[in-house]
A = this chain, B = another copy of it.
Amino acid sequence: MTDSTLKHLVIVGGGFAGLYAAKTLQKKNIRITLIDRRNFHLFQPLLYQVATGGLSPGDIAYPLRAVLKHNPRARVIQDKVVDIRPASNEVVLRDGGTLQYDYLLLATGVRHQYFGNEQWSESAPGLKTIEDALEVRRRILSAFEEAERCDDPQRRQQLLRFVIVGAGPTGVELAGALAELAQYTMKRNFRHINPADAEVILVEGSDRVLPPYAPKLSAKARAALESLGVTVRTATRVTNIDDTTISLEHNEQTETLAAGTILWAAGVKATVFGRRVAERTETETDRAGRLLVTPELTVPKYDNIYVLGDLAHVRQKNGAQVPGVAPAAMQMGRYAAKSILARIAGKPTKPFNYFDKGSLAVIGRNAAIAEVSGFKLSGFFAWLIWAFIHIHFLIEFGNKMIVSMQWGWNYLTRKRGARLITGKFTPNPDVERDSEPAA
């Protein structure tokens, strides 16, 4: 089906950047190999909904093969790229096998970072993968279950204390969803505890929530969170985390809180693979390990290697860094696809130009804040825009009907039907497993 005289583009990573590049090239005369460790694209901006039982993993993930099945020149491989050889135009797969490319597009994303305190990761998991979200969901729901069983009032209060570190979009949306879960969704679900007694504390190092947004919207977001009962602590630094406590520093005063659940939404950094790419291509990186790419989104020494999405550090003309958000990754993917086509056709390319469509964050059932083309919105109207935009993007992945139904249903009823504790059984790890052989 494929013509081996065609140029070959290898895309590593099926996130927004990689997938949008592949989709843009859907009907073009170019061979594509998309490699991802997972067999699905993940709609990461809604991961916090999975973590709080509002959506199921299947609602926000879509098989990569299904997206690309109509392009006979595109091939999907579920595998891991462990290295690249820029001099010979090769990527190296996990089993040592190699693939030759004409153009290479690297968009493997970032992971959490704990700023040198990686030992905190067990006690304060982050939210990057489906597995992360299910683990966070398990911890949140198990805390309520354990509190219901618990007779010690002090321990109960501790179990019902949730601390979220980092008030970027993920932290803010997670705090809002968690507060709503406690305040509304689980009403009348318990007999010994009142889930509304749960304490949700959002900790942020800088002086306001959603630091990249306009200060006015930060204030609105804070007010919306507080009206849901969230305690917002800005200008507060985390100095230590262990299994049951978190230590916070504010105005040079330190305080240690006992908390049943601690969640991390504070920072990202490059992966091992990202650092390897920087090394192999001799590309400078920023503090987080992102690669400083050219205005054409390639690495300086190899103009057939594109680095996109969260892995790339891209400066705009005004000097500002392109933010690590889904719309930016989509734009980069589309740009790289068109740039490659232009170069194959021998045409000149223009530098990448980020078009900021606006920022959105949703806080609970009908509060959101939005900054669209300079307009700053908040409240229900912003929520509608948020819902509309997210459903619009999910349409392309075929999940539209399900997700919009689920949202409509959740919105009307405040139900969160996906409140399942799966995986490990805690807090009692000695449980008999269903699959174990009979004793």
**Contact stretch, chosen from A206-214, A293-301, A361-369, A424-432:** A424-432
| A53-77 at interface with B (beta carbon < 8 Å) | 53, 55-59, 61-63, 65-66, 69-70, 72, 75-77
Question: A434 vs B47: C-alpha distance in the bound complex, in angstroms?
Answer: 15
**Is A420 on the interface with B (CB-CB < 8 A)?**
yes
Residues of B within 8 A of A57 (CB): 56-57, 418, 420, 422
Closest chain B residue to A77, Cβ basis = B149
What string of 1s and 0s marks CB contacts (under 8 Å) between A44-58 and chain B?
000000000101111
What is the CB-to-nearest-CB distance from A125 to chain B, in angstroms, rounded to a whole number?
Answer: 7
User: Are A39 and B421 interface neighbours, CB within 8 A?
Assistant: yes
Question: A425 vs B94: C-alpha distance in the bound complex, in angstroms?
Answer: 13
User: Are B434 and A66 interface neighbours, CB within 8 A?
Assistant: no
| A394-439 at interface with B (beta carbon < 8 Å) | 398-399, 401-402, 405-406, 409, 413, 415, 417-423, 425, 428, 430-432, 434-435, 437-439
| A75-101 at interface with B (beta carbon < 8 Å) | 75-80, 94-95
**Contact stretch, chosen from A184-192, A302-310, A342-350:** A184-192
User: Are A80 and B432 interface neighbours, CB within 8 A?
Assistant: yes
Most B-side CB within 10 Å, residue of A63, A79, A425, A437: A63
Residues of B within 8 A of A391 (CB): none
**Contact stretch, chosen from A7-15, A19-27, A129-137, A239-247:** A129-137
Q: Name the one of B53, B94, B420 contacting A430, with C-beta atoms under 8 angstroms.
A: B94
User: Are B272 and A439 interface neighbours, CB within 8 A?
Assistant: yes
Residues of B within 8 A of A131 (CB): 422-423, 434-435
Tell me the A residues contacting B by CB distance below 8 Å: 1-2, 37-40, 53, 55-59, 61-63, 65-66, 69-70, 72, 75-80, 94-95, 111-112, 118-119, 121, 125-126, 128-132, 134, 141-142, 145, 148-149, 186-191, 269, 271-273, 398-399, 401-402, 405-406, 409, 413, 415, 417-423, 425, 428, 430-432, 434-435, 437-439
